[in-house]
Chains A and B, each alone.
Chain A
Amino acid sequence: MSFLPYVPFAHALVAKQDLPIPAWLFAWAASIVLIVSFFALSAAWRKPKFEDERWRPAAGWLPTALLSPALQVLCGALGVFLLGVAAYSGIHGTEAPDRNFAITFLFVTAWLGFPFFSAFLGDIFRFFNPWRAIGRVAGGGFRLIAGQRAAHLRYPDRLGRWPAAVGLLAFVWLEVVYGSSGGVSVGLDPHAAGVAALVYSAYTLAMMALFGVEEWCRRGETFAVFFGMFAQLAPFGVRDGRIGRRRPLAAATHWATVPGSAAVVLASIATTSFDGAQDGALKAAIQNTMEAAEKIGLSPLDALRWTDTAYLLVTFAGVAIIYALGVRGMRSVPGAPPYKTLFRGFAHTLIPIALAYLVAHYFSLFVYQEQAQFTYLLSDPLGTATTDLFGTAEAGIDFKLLSPNLIWYVQVASLVAGHVLGLTLAHDRALVYWKDYRRASRSQYWMLAVMVAFTCFGLYLLSVGNG
């Protein structure tokens, strides 16, 4: 036998990847990339560049065609139809989450697809938003019958995007806490998903009736706000009814001025982190707390849900505290604006990180589940094996499409890129608040710490999750 010492690892320490270096070294490398980027920004970037979007209208027939009423009606109708199919298949289809159209469509195709594409193409959800489409038709109908525009309540400014932040937490809670039955990618009972879609539709339409369709979409509608947040990174945007090109990332600089915006982006990072940590880094802690909850008389399912809920909120608080500490640090630099201004003023720098977390955590799930979405789930939406609309009901998922190493490298690359972009946005904003670029750079030491913390935290969650 070999004389090398035998190392008895008790748990699944060996990750699925066959990496040439340990996973934690990637965290070190990512930190070095961030530190080098930080010093490069300090040395070479001395004037703010992102405050002005440099929006200019796009020429040609395509922008006009994209905003044509006919296409908007078509996209809106498609959105309403797909929401209807999802709700119907959820309520009347199979109870197996992985065979039911509703679960994959709502929690993978729409939930992950729109952020990915919005970040490059702009606010595409606006055209497909089913509630906006219904609201606009209802508003048009009202105008036709009553001969006047519907009167709406004034949306309270202080409420800002808080309803969307709460909605975001509730949506993810439904998926990862209420539906955490394990075994499949999204374990939520399709019936519950279908009912939730209908309840959310009723709530959204009521709010649109109260405050107006566009106002509610701008501030309160969870999905419009969440997907719209990522659209701020895109090089395309609509202004005064025209599509135009703008400097990438620049639109984000004015996004977080509305109250509650910081909560939306922090909730996005926290919910993704919790989803990753639930079966990895936090697994033992959740198990222990759950056992304690059972001892005080809760049923196993209630104990699991209450425990998961508590840890989801703790994760949200933890992410918010890391960001708040960074802001607190910046406040110590002479010439700093008030804490509240800084807290809100730097929130947009977290948008690329929120996107990076989504890509890192769900990239492989998205690639695998979309194969199901566009084959057997499309042919047999109810999952009852009674229909084969497109002849693909017998298809399966090719899990060999992505190698474990490729997944890991995409995860690392997205996290590093997201944090470097976040650091760049933060440096740019600091140059607005501190006219002296040396002080601006000094204030950004703290954001560097926040970015390094989020990068290492993200890679740790992924390494444990992959293990």
Chain B
Amino acid sequence: MTAAAHILALPLAHIGHWLWVFYLIPVLIVVGGIIHTTRADKRRKKDGRGH
């Protein structure tokens, strides 16, 4: 590898160990969505009862 290539090398040697994060994101989105809608639902009901 030339010196220029060394300078441009990205520190990604161990990125493979972090690929699992990409598989976790859809799960987190779904779980987050469920929690958000459930809380919003409860809040709406509470407000409805208060009036």
Contact = CB atoms under 8 A, between A and B. Distances in A.
A237 B6 CA distance: 66
A460 B25 CA distance: 12
A27 interface: yes
Interface string A45-58: 00000000000000
Given A5-B9, A449-B31, A10 B19 contact: no
B9 A446 contact: no
B12 A24 contact: no
A3 B22 contact: no
Nearest to B6: A6
B48 interface: no
Contact of A1 (B4, B13, B16, B29): B4
A359 to B, nearest CB: 20
A167 to B, nearest CB: 32
Given A1-B5, A5-B8, A6-B9, A459 B23 contact: yes
A332 B5 CA distance: 57
Interface string B1-27: 110111011101111100110111111
Contacts of A373: none
A460 B6 CA distance: 32
A1 B34 contact: no
Contacts of B20: 281, 460
Nearest to B23: A460
Nearest to B33: A445
Interface stretch (A155-163, A200-208, A248-256, A450-458): A450-458
A449 B23 contact: no
Interface in A1-21: 1, 3-13
Nearest to B12: A7
Nearest to A460: B23
A467 B22 CA distance: 16
B22 A449 contact: no
Interface in A83-111: none
A464 B33 CA distance: 28
B24 A9 contact: no
Contact of B9 (A8, A22, A448, A452): A8
A457 B4 contact: no
B27 A453 contact: yes
B28 to A, nearest CB: 10
A27 B22 contact: yes
Contacts of A1: 2, 4-5
Contacts of A332: 38
B26 A27 contact: yes
B13 to A, nearest CB: 4
Given A456-B24, A456-B26, A5 B34 contact: no
A35 B16 contact: no
A456 B27 CA distance: 7
Given A6-B1, A445-B34, A457 B23 contact: yes
A6 B27 contact: no
Contacts of A459: 23
A329 interface: yes
Given A1-B5, A9-B15, A9-B16, A448 B30 contact: yes
Nearest to A329: B34
A10 B16 contact: yes
A215 to B, nearest CB: 41
A445 B14 CA distance: 35
12 contacts: A6-B6, A6-B10, A8-B12, A9-B12, A22-B22, A24-B22, A281-B20, A329-B34, A448-B30, A460-B20, A463-B23, A467-B16
Q: 9 shortest A-B CB distances, which residue pairs?
A: A24-B22, A31-B26, A460-B23, A10-B13, A13-B16, A5-B8, A445-B34, A456-B23, A6-B5
